[in-house]
Amino acid sequence: MYFWNSYPFVRLSIVLISGILCFDLSPEIWNYFIPSVGTLLILSPITLLLSNKIGFYQLRVVNGIVFLSMFFLLGGELVRVNYYDLPKNHYSRLINNHEGFSGTIISTPTERTNHIRYDFELRHITTDDSIKNIEGIIQLYVKKDTANQARYVYGDHLLIAGKFYEVTGPGNPYEFDFKKYSSLRNIYGHAFVQVDDIRLVGADPSNPIFQFAFKAQTKAAQIIDKHIVEPRENGIAKALLLGIKDHLDNEVKKSYSAAGAMHVLAVSGLHVGIVYLFLQFLLGRLKKTKLGRQMFSMISILAIWSYALVTGLSPSVLRAATMFSIVAWGEIKSTKGNVYNSLGLAAFLLLMFDPYLIYSVGFQLSFSAVLGIVYLQPKIYRLLEFYSLLLDKAWAITCVSIAAQLATFPLTAYYFHQFPTYFLASNLIVIPTATIMLVGGIGMLLLDPIVVEVSHLLGFLLSKIIWVVNESVSLVESFPNSLIEWIYLDLIGLIMTYAIVIFLLWGLHHRSFKTLLIGVTLFLSLLCIQFLSIGDQSTTKKIIFYEIKGMKAIDHVVGHHADLYVEESINNIELLSYQIDPNRLASGLSPIAKSIQTFRDSDQFLVASPFTYGVLEKNRILYIDSVTFKLQFDSLIRTDILILENGSVKNLDWLKDHFHFEHLLIGNKNTRYYSDKMKLQAKASGISIHSLIEDGAFILNVRK
């Protein structure tokens, strides 16, 4: 009856999250925010007065609804204030009307393949005749230049000659929506500039805490560089200790991902938890007295946030530090507290600070993993009993891994489409050694200013341990079928999978046949949905013209088979895969690496300048690759799909006189200026036109 009384912040967090999600679905509800809150504020004292006369128990539901409704409305209002009510001088209103801009670096640099990326808070834009004050954050990409390399730091004020542009949405079906991802961080624009376009005009750090944190992280990185010189071990040490993943090569990332150990290279709850548990190991005896408990709590909180500062106060560490600080604070009152309520309080505080954290993959994985470990690990641990201390510890670690994987598998399948088969074996190695590496690494950082020889020795030992872990992880990756890939789960599948797991676990724990039956029914329903989707795809025939910058790319889909045709051989297939494979995955098709061929090598296309001609599913496809208006045609050229490339046609009236077509496309090898120009001509001539550059991929459903 009083089940929820022990979990007040769990209730508040659920209601707050509901308000956040509902705002995105129906923001118009919050048009009546003020009268709604006013009504609730009037109802609150009335219901309390009635409760005193009638009895609180009789009106508990009414009181609860009134109270929780306020937090529901608060959740939506937080979204509106933080993400929807942009200031009048926000740069998104002036994004195409400037020649230069100025602002301040508000993040540490992040290394990309060809650029260094910064979060950049805008202050002014310059036009031909004026300077305007603006607000907002963009992502600034500075081209790497070995001859004139510059590295900016938090607080640097820069004057930049050039433009920033709106972040564009995905051009292809199921492609990652970077525009939406950026908007969840209140970032709507980006700029790509050269070092010569930038002038450093001063420094103005807006937050001294972040300034100190970034300096501490940079200093710690320099200490690691001094004591660990091997490139691979150095990169892993920085990722493990500081959360700097810029120096991890793709091979290392692939190995750790396949082994199910990638969480070790992302500073998060695991690392903060190790710090907290190590403090308990060292100072646990203090908790025998009230004063000792207070000292332990204060020392723990101070140590946790000191470590958070060294990692640059990354969002994942802030979440974990908040969570463990709440746990440590509970020690003051000599109560273990309710871990679920502590998680609820941590979520509540974090979402009050940033409501869109609910959409963060790290936020979702962190809380799912902790909930899984707290609820499932003790139950799994009790299934077996070992009298050997070593076996018992190994079993405990195994139980933690199983619980975390059960809780996070639906999310990893939804976001990353893979599952590490041997995660149990790798975590038996990685979790204990991660503890040793983290403690030893922190010791190395702390002792460097005091006893540099000891710090150097710790660095030497740490590099050897990292080498052993790397070799172990690589060995696990080399096992057959170490990583199950190409798993597809949509949002409905994600929700149903979690529902299945919850109902089955709850039914088994409470031995409830009805609950188990619900779980089994949901599982069978999910299977039916999958089978229907497979059957639907088997009858599909379509031709997809993808939006790939500067490239021709056509997918010919027949049932569960697809062939990708491109203009020329692709040396780096990763970018192409990034844009096309999401659609292949969602459609139950194979990756493009297994079905890619060039126009020249295929039997379906003929390349003869200035044309590329092909036939797919009886649809004639004609690319005009270069200028043709000087050519003479004896008769009207008929085709089903006509694609203009390289600005080949200057006038659509001329095109109508010489070509007959069903669909007219502006290809990827054109400028936006040309695309806009052709669209205006098409509108004036009454021609239907599709621009791959602006409108995204063109899909022709041949038969379904």
- β pairing state of 115-126 and 637-638: unpaired
Q: For residue 1, name the pLDDT band (cuts at 50, 70, 90).
A: very low
Tens-place pLDDT, residues 352-372: 988 998 998 888 888 888 888
Query: Is pLDDT of 337 > 80?
Result: no
Tell me, what's the pLDDT at 380?
Answer: 87
Quickly tell me which residue has 């009207």 as its tokens. 636
User: What is 91-206's CATH topology?
Assistant: OB fold (Dihydrolipoamide Acetyltransferase, E2P) (2.40.50)
| Most confident region among 442-446, 475-479, 599-603, 697-701 by mean pLDDT | 697-701
Rounded to whole angstroms, the Cα distance separating 212 from 205 reads: 10
Strands (DSSP E) along 469-530, which ranges?
Answer: 483-485
Mean pLDDT of 237-242: 88
Q: How many CA atoms lie within 13 A of 309 on its CB side?
A: 15
Q: How many CA atoms lie within 13 A of 240 on its CB side?
A: 32
Contacts of 517 (CB under 8 A, 6+ apart): 507
Of residues 129 and 325, more confidently modeled: 325
**Percentage of residues in the chain with pLDDT exceeding 70?**
92
Q: For residue 54, name the pLDDT band (cuts at 50, 70, 90).
A: low
Tell me, what's the pLDDT at 214?
Answer: 87
With the C-alpha atoms ordered 483, 488, 492, 497, is the resulting torsion angle positive or negative? negative
Of residues 260 and 64, more confidently modeled: 260
Tell me, what's the pLDDT at 41?
Answer: 65
Rounded to whole angstroms, the Cα distance separating 562 from 541 reads: 10
Rounded to whole angstroms, the Cα distance separating 555 from 581 reads: 11
Burial of residue 678 (CB within 10 Å: 0-12, 13-18, 19+) is buried
Tell me, what's the pLDDT at 146?
Answer: 57
What's the per-residue H, E or C state across 99-118?
CEEEEEECCCCEECCCEEEE
Mean pLDDT of 214-224: 90
Tell me, what's the pLDDT at 61?
Answer: 67
What's the per-residue H, E or C state across 309-361?
HHCCCCHHHHHHHHHHHHHHHHHHHCCCCCHHHHHHHHHHHHHHHCHHHHHCH
Tell me, what's the pLDDT at 131?
Answer: 87
Query: Is pLDDT of 50 > 70?
Result: no
Query: Is pLDDT of 25 > 80?
Result: yes
Tell me, what's the pLDDT at 630?
Answer: 67
Query: Is pLDDT of 535 > 80?
Result: yes
Which residues sit opposite 611 in a β-bridge? 608, 624
Q: ∠121-127-132 over CA atoms, to 5°? A: 50
Tell me, what's the pLDDT at 334?
Answer: 52
Rounded to whole angstroms, the Cα distance separating 566 from 551 reads: 7
Rounded to whole angstroms, the Cα distance separating 543 from 559 reads: 12
Q: For residue 171, name the pLDDT band (cuts at 50, 70, 90).
A: very high
Tell me, what's the pLDDT at 52?
Answer: 60
Q: Which stretch of 115-129, 266-280, 584-598, 681-695 has the lowest confidence by average pLDDT?
A: 266-280
Tell me, what's the pLDDT at 4?
Answer: 60
Q: pTM value?
A: 0.86
Q: Which stretch of 104-113, 452-461, 638-647 has the lowest confidence by average pLDDT?
A: 104-113
Tens-place pLDDT, residues 455-497: 999 999 999 999 998 888 888 888 888 888 899 999 999 999 9
Query: Is pLDDT of 3 > 70?
Result: no
Of residues 97 and 597, more confidently modeled: 597
Tens-place pLDDT, residues 296-326: 888 888 988 998 888 888 877 888 888 888 8
As a whole number, the mean pLDDT across the chain is: 86
Tell me, what's the pLDDT at 516?
Answer: 93
Tell me, what's the pLDDT at 661?
Answer: 93
Burial of residue 52 (CB within 10 Å: 0-12, 13-18, 19+) is exposed
